[in-house]
Chain A
């Protein structure tokens, strides 16, 4: 059981309708960082994961669109090392205090 830690998830989606696509993209920005076109990386608690699924379930058309969620394990347990970037590296998204 993960009481504290967040797991790193890669979420990718194929949405058939541009309006829905926009809505899904907007909703995803509330959960993680876009690392590619239609691919996000999200560091989520178990609760966050369920909230993500609940949010997306309400947005998509289940007979047309598809979403894939890959669990890369604990976010601070080397999940990053399991993502190889060639070219421009995407920024990390772990939440920390914001001071500006």
Chain B
């Protein structure tokens, strides 16, 4: 663990121990309105000397942004403003917003943070009996006295936080706390989701069907959108905060605001200017490179994720056959359930026998005693499922699915399925990277050069609902036709226009909002991907025992 605790982190710890842990130990951070505004207000006060709360007091010396360490207290701090008169020192902490109407004048986190600064000042030879919180919006100075009780509380929190850091044990989420409503880390922490799953695991067997209300603390959809550039002769350039897409023949064909991009996918030889690439990397936007045929070649990425603990856990689990198998079992069982749901809902005359068998196979998968057995169960289920999938292509008698084949696909439906599976793997790859996993090390798929095994693992449960559904819709609605395919010597491939149609259909599906079967809120599939990947990380950290695959009923 890092030696000294930043006083700011101690304030977070007082506010919510889990919040502090995620930020400080896991190195995760997320901005929301409040955090951006907080930094903005801080900067404003720093720059704006007219607002100096002390400019009428000429006796004192004012120092801005003073960094100090207190090895004995175990704290380091950056003091916004230090007022010094001889040996006497008073730290001032700026806070955005208004002074709260409470007897203490300021909330505990601020008081603890100031007190920790005070203790550091004392250790550095100053006399320090009180600090001041300056509330920017109400322009009010609120004094905080470092009395016995506050010092005791501060020291207590310091040792509690040290212990959490040494034991590497993430504090549990707060229970139904209003604090979570405005917490920028809610999407990482998943407080209600984790609490619900833990509760369900505790009660398993005794009491079934508890349904606690899970608050929707994550946004329904992403603020950012993917960019796909298909085809040779295109190039990307940066102009200000805009990404320009140029075509060799037609000039500038598109402008996209950089701050709204989530990922950039380049198919075939697409040029990227260095300024554009560097800007994308600095913003943490992955640039993924594919061959013209959709084969994933690699990713250009800025600094990698800081959550080293997660990757260590991932390697530990992947090396452990039993634990890997447990995760794989949930994923495959979930996938088979989703295959069954797909047939049950969309097959014009569902076969009771097939549904029954899939149901059984999904239960068998849960109990498979080895990875090989699981593979066998998955294969049997796939055969049943793909044997019926043709019946779902009811709206378009020009196309049919005889059997699943690939490398290269022999018919249009298989060509589209293969293409969609590649796009889906890409999506999981990006999500895993964003959460901090190593996408190449899986629990079910074994590592092989260039194969993002964990992405393949995680996409299993989504294949029927995302890829297969998209393919069926595209054919049934006749968005795809003969002209979208070309026969190559070996098989069938999509034309450039066909690929764009497929990607368009896929994106529609990803943005579709659906009700989460477990948590009951309505969000886009893209958000659900992230929730699932985060839940997987919670399994590795031991917070929940079993990976809850996403399965629709």
Contacts and interface: CB of A to CB of B under 8 A. Distances in A.
B245 A97 contact: no
Contact of B227 (A46, A47, A49, A98): A98
Q: Chain B interface: which size bin?
A: 35 or more
B259 A30 contact: yes
Contacts of B228: 97-100
A98 B225 contact: yes
A65 interface: no
B225 A97 contact: yes
A29 B254 contact: no
Contacts of A32: 257
B217 to A, nearest CB: 7
A96 B220 contact: no
Nearest to B254: A100
Given A27-B241, A97-B225, A98-B228, A3 B256 contact: no
A100 B36 contact: no
B399 to A, nearest CB: 22
A50 to B, nearest CB: 5
Given A3-B219, A47-B32, A29 B226 contact: no
A45 B223 contact: yes
Contacts of B258: 30
B229 interface: yes
Interface stretch (A9-17, A51-59, A77-85): A51-59
Contact of A54 (B36, B181, B220, B254): B36
A1 B241 CA distance: 28
B260 interface: yes
Interface string B186-230: 000000000000000000000000000000111111011111111
A1 B36 contact: no
B503 interface: yes
Contacts of A47: 31-33, 36, 223
Contacts of B37: 50
Given A1-B181, A46-B33, A100 B240 contact: no
Nearest to A55: B241
B504 interface: yes
Residue among A5, A27, A30 facing the most chain B CB atoms (10 A cut-off) = A30
A100 B230 contact: yes
A89 interface: no
B256 A98 contact: yes
B242 interface: yes
Nearest to B40: A54
B500 to A, nearest CB: 5
Interface string B244-273: 010100000110111110000000000000
B234 interface: yes
B507 interface: yes
Contacts of B478: none
B230 A99 contact: yes
A87 interface: no
B477 interface: no
Interface string B36-57: 1101100110000000000000
Contacts of A46: 32-33
A19 interface: no
A99 B181 contact: no
Contacts of A54: 36, 39-40, 43
Contact of B40 (A1, A50, A96): A50
A95 B240 contact: no
B44 A50 contact: no
B504 A50 contact: no
Contacts of A27: 240-241
B41 to A, nearest CB: 10
Contacts of B182: 1
Nearest to B240: A26
B229 A3 contact: no
Contacts of B219: 3-4
Contact of A50 (B33, B260, B503): B33
A50 B36 contact: yes
A45 B33 CA distance: 8
Interface in A12-52: 26-27, 29-32, 45-51
A53 B33 CA distance: 12
Given A47-B33, A48-B223, A98-B254, 4 more contacts: A1-B182, A46-B32, A97-B225, A98-B228
Interface of B: 31-33, 36-37, 39-40, 43-44, 181-182, 216-221, 223-230, 234, 240-242, 245, 247, 253-254, 256-260, 500, 503-504, 507, 511
13 contacts: A6-B223, A29-B241, A29-B242, A30-B257, A47-B223, A48-B259, A54-B36, A96-B225, A98-B256, A99-B500, A100-B228, A100-B229, A100-B500
